[in-house]
Structure 1
Amino acid sequence: MAVSKSHQTDAPPDKKPSSVTQDTLQWIVLKIVIPLVIVLTLWQLIAGLTRINLLDVLNALLRLTFEGDSEGVYLSQHIIASVNRVTLGFLIAGVTGIPLGIIIGRYRSVYSILGPVVEAMRPIPPIAWIPLSLLMFPGNIIGAQAFIIWVGAFFPILINTTTGVKRTEPVHIDVAKTLGAGERDILGKIVVPSASPEIFAGLRIGFGIGWMCLVAAEMLRGHDGLGYLIWTYWGVGRTAEVIIGMLLIGLIGFLITFAFLYVERYLLRWRQTVSV
């Protein structure tokens, strides 16, 4: 028996292979080819200004990797030391910045008191805190370094958390109060979930700025870390090792940012479901 056209279901057309190939090529060009061309162009400019070639950098990379520096510290040890320092400062910034941001954003009286203080301290660059960090942590180089990184990461986390909390829809809070929800339920089930995108953005930005503060933090007394590597070899005129440290800081920072974006999309996937 023939089936009428009115009862036929139109299945969505499959994506053409040519379209898939075109999308793949476009992704490769945008994500790999263009960034690689930019990096190579910048490399040529730097090489022309510093009179250093790729072979010198590769030799220095192999030497630091397999033989270590003049003090016997291997490149992997420098990387691990830097990541540990930034992670410590970042964790302290998150533990202090998120709760304080929630309190400032939620309660107007607290915002009126602490808001001006935060705005006055926020423009001070982290490197300006180095003398004070040495006074605050005498003989404790790890504490002084963690403090510098904390300063860089703390304010983005605090500001973004405060902004996210203040953007919570008042009608949602009013409905929750009408249904008998207490302040703890309002914070845990409405305010924090609503502010979660801004909180994650603050964490991502805070880690990036904390990573940028690494060189300043490791300028303090120490014997390892990528910032220490850059500072030490710059003092003796070893440009190849300086470039290696800079490239590694950029590469690791990029990978960390990418990881943050992936985790953020995974943990906040429920928001896409709700919006649909």
Structure 2
Amino acid sequence: MMSGATEEHAEMKGDSPPRQRKAKRQGTRPVDILLTAVIPLAILLMIWQFIAYFAQGLGLLDIANSFVKLVIKGDADGTTLGQHTAMSMVRVTLGFALAAATAIPLGIAVGRYRLVSMVLGPVVEAFRPLPPIAWIPLSILLFRSNLIGAQVFIIWLGAFFPILINTTAGVKRTSTVHLDVASTFGTSERQILSKIVLPSAAPETFAGLRIGFGIGWMCLVAAEMFGSAIGLGYLVTITQQTGKTGETISAMIVIGFIGFLISYVFLRAEKRLLRWRREVAV
């Protein structure tokens, strides 16, 4: 009986690698690629065609011509689509980097230390419901002639709170058993943070980074609509005001595509970097 059970268990273990390889191959099958890439893209193109047609009778070919014109010749000022995109990426990268550099350490402190949570928790909850866009007039007054600083500040606000909240939740979710065992063996606080708390909070932190970048990207586009002379948000505003619907839609497509691409990169990086957690769980 025991020998049969052992053989059955060994057979099951022997079957697991092929199953895992099969599961990995499923994401690369033509059917999966069709469902996850081709069909959604076709649906998006149909939606854009519908909107463009009823807006001003523009078709996909008209939008494509406007897109090519923006890429090669640029807008009325001669600024190309690549230049607008590059400037927007610089602004959002600065704001997001500042948000990550401030929100992650603060989230660890709030989640780990009760006194910090008692002091800063109410402050965070007081400011968190305020929409970042509502800060645009005040940020312009605070930064005066430093328009890029005001825009980076708005992006920082948009990305800061999702990263902070998720990091705090991840730290609080750390197993108390692991913390108690570490304390029993006299592990230093620095080792507890680096070896136990940070790995435990990694999934929530990555989720916060992905969400924070998405919100920061939306805030960037809104912030660039006020006072900018370059950027995707500015391009949407100026082409809309001058009645160039094709160029407006082209800029909107680029904004949406970049947001999707960055979110996809974050998801892939999260799966790759946190693969060890799934292996431990199995």
TM-score, scaled to structure 2: 0.88
| Residue 39 of structure 1 pairs with residue 38 of structure 2 | no
Counterpart AA for 1:44: Q
Partner of 2:101: 95
The answer to whether the 8 A contact 1:153-1:205 is kept is yes
Q: Does the aligned pair in 2 maintain the 1:145–1:220 contact within 8 Å?
A: no
Indicate which of 268, 274, 279 corresponds to 1:273. 279
- Which residue is equivalent to 2:147? 141
- The alignment partner of 1:213 has SS state of helix
In the alignment, the residues of structure 1 paired with residue 81 and residue 45 of structure 2 have an alpha-carbon distance, to the nearest angstrom, of 23
1:31/1:124 CA distance change after superposition, 3 Å: same
- What is the alpha-carbon distance in structure 2 between the residues aligned to residue 21 and residue 172 of structure 1? 36
RMSD: 2.2
Please say if residues 158 and 212 of structure 2, whose CA atoms lie closer than 8 Å, have aligned partners that are also in contact: yes
Provide the identity percentage: 58
Structure 1 residue 30 and structure 2 residue 26: aligned?
no
One of 258, 267, 274 as aligned partner of 2:264 = 258
Q: Does 1:248 align with 2:254?
A: yes
Task: Select which of 213, 217, 225 maps to 2:223.
Answer: 217
> Aligned equivalents of 1:71 and 1:217: distance in 2?
20
Q: Deviations over 1:49-106 (max 9, x none)?
A: 2122222212211111111111111111111111111111000000010001000111
Q: Secondary structure of 1:145's match?
A: helix
Residue among 147, 161, 166 paired with 2:172:
166
Equivalent position SS for 1:139: coil
Q: How does 1:1-276 map to 2 (within 5 A)?
A: 12=15, 24-51=29-56, 52-276=58-282
Q: TM-score, normalised by structure 1?
A: 0.90
1:3 alignment counterpart: none
Give the unaligned 5+ runs of structure 1.
1-6
C-alpha contact (below 8 Å) 1:141/1:220 kept by paired residues: no
| DSSP-derived class of the 2:29 partner | helix
**Superposition misfits of 4+ residues, deviation over 3 angstroms:** 9-15, 20-23
TM superposition shift of 1:42? 1.1
Counterpart amino acid of residue 97 in structure 1: A
Task: Check whether the contact 2:26–2:32 (CA below 8 A) recurs between aligned residues.
Answer: no
Offset of 1:216 from its aligned partner? 1.2
After alignment, is 154-163 or 38-47 more displaced? 38-47
Call closer, same or farther: CA 1:23–1:74 in 2, change over 3 Å.
closer
Question: What is the match of residue 4 of structure 1?
Answer: none
C-alpha distance in 2, partners of 1:44/1:232?
A: 22
